[in-house]
Structure 1
Amino acid sequence: MPTTMLQGKCENIPMPDNSVDAVISTFALCSVDDPERAMSEIMRVLRPGCAVHFVEHIAAPQRTFIHALQRLLAPMSRRFNHGCDPLADTQRHFITAGFWLEDLQRREFSGIPMISGRAVCPKQRPQS
């Protein structure tokens, strides 16, 4: 299957509207500078009914040891780990942008919570 890998920022994808069949994101959406803009760009380039296939780490539930540790490490992580925000709320960003989540799974890896699944671009998009 022919594929194209682009180098650039997710907040400004150099592709035409409705031109992409799938987006794959693995541990990347935590590092975008503007998550809302990134989700808007992903939705713009995806064809209706197509999806983002993702695996992402997320913030642990509040008032847990892991969440407190993520909060403590967040400033250093953002500065020294390519902008990675250990408190990312990727699920909320997908939903706010208008994606439908399918096959959402929650897991932990060494105590770090993660989600995986598909965020589907709706066939009828909201008017902006």
Structure 2
Amino acid sequence: MALYILFFQLCVAIITLPIHILAGLGLWDPIAKRFMPYLMERITKNINKHMGEHKKELFRTLSDFKGPSGELKVLELGCGTGANFPFYPSGCKVTCVDPNPNFKTFLSKSLAENDHVHFQEFLVAPGENMPQVATGSMDVVICTLVLCSVENIDDILTEIHRVLRPGGAYYFFEHVAADPSSWNYFFQIILDPTWKHIGDGCKLTKETWKYLERAKFSDVKYKHVLAPFKWSPVRPHIYGYALK
């Protein structure tokens, strides 16, 4: 089986050889970072269309985590194009963090379409290291379709736990590894070495729920669901929340 997988991985690599050459020369990453906002704008619109009900279910309790002042302070990591804004409660104060500054233009467009969101600031930083965000300053942290591309999930979960106030919540919505006995998983393994370049570090075979279960949160609740995208390598998802 290992030889079959290696063979098909090689076939995919040959088909996408220019990408691998540019990546080897260190030239692909700047291209991917400029291209990614355009790609994510299309992808996230499609996700909201087909999985919007799951997102509504996930985010319907956001207002329950308002702080003592009655305000809801939200930190969104990997905010991208602002695809989650339509699901946020009116009046919430949102600080956005993304390591890719090229998303800022697209974020502005989304904010103009969702004036119920009170935008605070856009910080260029990785989720694993956010010194600009004070400890215990956020009621809610939201992270969707991000952990797949994070090199060290334990580090980002530690940082999320740090910036949340006691009793705050971390909401997540991520694509994950498929059942190891499925064809979906077989295709994930085959595509993984190339997908990381196309998806700006995205890894298809992460068992993200295992990282969440061993993190420092007091409680973690999540569901496994399948996106209605036939033959898609990113069909399996989890969504839920964790409490500090």
TM-score class, shorter-chain normalisation, is: 0.7 to 0.9
Q: Structure 1 or 2: larger helix share?
A: 2
Q: What amino acid maps onto 1:91 in structure 2?
A: W
TM-score (norm 1): 0.86
User: Partner of 1:83: helix, strand, or coil?
Assistant: coil
Q: Structure 1 or 2: larger strand share?
A: 1
* Structure index of larger Rg: 2
- Please identify runs of 4+ aligned residues in structure 1 that moved more than 6 A: none
Is residue 118 from structure 1 mapped to residue 241 from structure 2 by the alignment? yes
Is residue 101 from structure 1 mapped to residue 217 from structure 2 by the alignment? no
Which one of 111, 126, 146 corresponds to residue 9 of structure 1? 126
Which one of 43, 53, 77 corresponds to residue 195 of structure 2? 77
| Percentage of matched positions with identical amino acids | 32
What is aligned with 2:161?
43
Alpha-carbon RMSD across the aligned residues, in angstroms, is 1.3
User: Partner of 2:141: helix, strand, or coil?
Assistant: strand
The alpha carbon displacement at 1:80 in A equals 2.1
Greater RCO, 1 or 2 (C-alpha within 8 Å, sep 6+): 1
In the alignment, the residues of structure 2 paired with residue 61 and residue 36 of structure 1 have an alpha-carbon distance, to the nearest angstrom, of 22
Q: Which runs of 5+ in 1 are unaligned?
A: 122-128
User: Partner of 1:71: helix, strand, or coil?
Assistant: helix
CA deviations 1:12-46 (Å, max 9, x no partner) are 02312111111111111111111111111111111
Aligned length: 120
TM-score (norm 2): 0.47
In the alignment, the residues of structure 1 paired with residue 170 and residue 148 of structure 2 have an alpha-carbon distance, to the nearest angstrom, of 15
What is aligned with 1:31?
149
Is residue 52 from structure 1 mapped to residue 175 from structure 2 by the alignment? no
